[in-house]
Structure 1
Amino acid sequence: MSTMQTLRTFLFYLLLSVSACVWCILSVFVAPFLPFRARYRFVNQTWCRCAVWLAKVLLGIRYEVKGLENIPQRPCVILAKHQSTWETFFLSALFEPLSQVLKRELLYVPFFGWAMAMLKPIAIDRSNPKAALKQLAKQGHERLEQGAWVLIFPEGTRIATGQIGKFSRGGAALAVNAKLPVLPIAHNAGEFWPKQGWGKTPGTVQVVIGPAMQAEGTGPRAIAELNDRAFAWISQAQRDIGALAAEDAVCDVHESV
């Protein structure tokens, strides 16, 4: 990484951290008085748009989106590839209101966690997979009924570009039980915002939104089939944009939800 890019990356993190602190503190005092949709826009969507904009201006990380016409009018379950932090910012800005699965410990972080708690996240205990799946099923269904999108990274953790992790069935199960489709999303953000390290590379993130997929039937078999179909679509889309090395590049590391 060049000296100039190093300086730009340092400035990016500095401005991102300062803006997060200011925005979270402000949100703690303002957001409780706003209805949920307006609260989401104030607390999360505006700041995430700022983060994506800073990445574009300072780091040279731009993006192109294909498939916006595939987004259904009614909120459903989003199953997205997970490679970096960039897609968390981007998807949180694109879909609103959005509830996402996150580690329960994040809610204990002063101001940041308090602000996040007001956005109705599904905060799970990853050390207890069975309880986490039950919580996802219950709270995810509630969020969908309340008109919120539910974002799930079915790999459970960030997987380096060129690989894809096995998909947990939690997201597919949630969609089947709620009688709603899943919306698959592929991207190559990890090429420019790597999983590890703080270095960033200029480039254009390709985001591909697939067609909404409805389960064929109900029960465990329908859940497994829908999950496999979403996995197959995202895998092929990753190959099409050059973000998956080969058909057998499947990583065994994944978490429960």
Structure 2
Amino acid sequence: MPIPSSAHNQAPVGITTWLRSLLFFALYNLIGIIHSLLCLAAAPFQDFEQRYWFVNLWSQVTMWLLRKINGVSIEVDGLENIPKGQPVVVMCNHQSQWETFYLQLLISPQATILKRELLWVPFFGWGLALLRPIAIDRSKGSQALKTLLRVGQERLREGISVVIYPEGTRQPPGSIGSFNVGGAMLASRASVEVLPMSHNSGDCWPGRSLLRLPGTIRLRIGKPIATEGKSTKQITAEVEAWIRQHYPGELRAVGPA
């Protein structure tokens, strides 16, 4: 018997999709718990590059589970646009957890801007902390921006790219929210380029849902955008325009989830 559709998909979601989604959820969490404990045990004996690779074995397994259990394929356009041997600020739209996993594999090494509460999540947060993310307190706006700029420039000087989701929170499938200027400000102050990315991950891995829907996640990577001589507003507007223009699907709405 069909089950009512999810909010982003007009077609009813069948029992098989629900069962596969629950199986993915169970295996994803079980493997994540075991792996995070192994990461913590191994961390004292690894340098950052080794730790980064070991922690992201879970990311690789997650993508494998998503393909094998849920029938989700991934298509990437623009891999040749990723700079070699130089750090960038990656700015990407945000719809689900998928991009937080996949971009860890695509841009390596990297530091992700995230809310500090994520580091408190048992197992998942512990492993995440080993990757040296840039954790900010969103309740303290000016202090959060200072942390982003200070720590972000440190990471970039170390040759580590910084990934930021300028909408600040996950958006529904088919929508892109308004952008904040933090990522553009960081890139400008560090004199590095911005690498724009656009994707439709919410079509297959909707945020705040157990469902994992079969289909194709398409990720488009643009050419690096220069920041020299531009204001943060100009950079933000240019990146946002590219992400909207290259979104792999129809944009239906604007605003937070």
* Whole-angstrom distance in 1 between the partners of 2:62 and 2:153: 29
**Are positions 1:242 and 2:242 aligned together?**
no
**Are positions 1:113 and 2:122 aligned together?**
no
Tell me the alpha carbon deviations over residues 227-246 of structure 1, each in whole angstroms, 9 at most, x when there is no partner: 110000001001xx22413x
* Whole-angstrom distance in 1 between the partners of 2:190 and 2:201: 30
Task: Please list every run of 5 or more consecutive structure 1 residues that lacks an aligned counterpart in the other structure.
Answer: none
* Whole-angstrom distance in 2 between the partners of 1:103 and 1:19: 24
| TM-score after normalising by structure 2 | 0.91
**Are positions 1:62 and 2:86 aligned together?**
no
* Whole-angstrom distance in 2 between the partners of 1:135 and 1:82: 21
Q: In the alignment, which residue of structure 1 is the partner of 2:116?
A: 104
How far is 1:5 from its partner?
A: 1.5
Q: In the alignment, which residue of structure 1 is the partner of 2:35?
A: 23
**Are positions 1:48 and 2:55 aligned together?**
no
**Are positions 1:79 and 2:110 aligned together?**
no
* Whole-angstrom distance in 2 between the partners of 1:111 and 1:190: 24
* Whole-angstrom distance in 2 between the partners of 1:206 and 1:174: 27
Count of aligned pairs between the two proteins: 244
Report the more deviating stretch, 101-110 or 75-84: 101-110
Letter paired with 1:49: Q
Letter paired with 1:250: V
Tell me the alpha carbon deviations over residues 198-250 of structure 1, each in whole angstroms, 9 at most, x when there is no partner: 122100111100110011415xxx21111110000001001xx22413xxx43
Does the 8 A contact of 1:161 with 1:243 survive in 2? no
How far is 1:110 from its partner?
A: 3.5
Q: In the alignment, which residue of structure 2 is the partner of 1:3?
A: 15
Task: Please list every run of 5 or more consecutive structure 2 residues that lacks an aligned counterpart in the other structure.
Answer: 1-12
Sequence identity of aligned pairs in percent? 44
| TM-score after normalising by structure 1 | 0.91
Q: In the alignment, which residue of structure 1 is the partner of 2:10?
A: none
* Whole-angstrom distance in 1 between the partners of 2:71 and 2:123: 29
Letter paired with 2:169: T
Secondary structure class of the residue paired with 1:164:
coil
Does the 8 A contact of 1:137 with 1:174 survive in 2? yes
Report the more deviating stretch, 126-135 or 112-121: 112-121
RMSD of equivalent CA atoms: 1.4
Tell me the alpha carbon deviations over residues 97-119 of structure 1, each in whole angstroms, 9 at most, x when there is no partner: 11111121222233432322221
* Whole-angstrom distance in 2 between the partners of 1:88 and 1:128: 23
Does the 8 A contact of 1:60 with 1:202 survive in 2? yes
* Whole-angstrom distance in 1 between the partners of 2:157 and 2:232: 20
1:158 alignment partner, one of 156, 170, 174: 170
Q: State the 4+ residue runs in structure 1 displaced beyond 6 angstroms.
A: none
**Are positions 1:141 and 2:150 aligned together?**
no
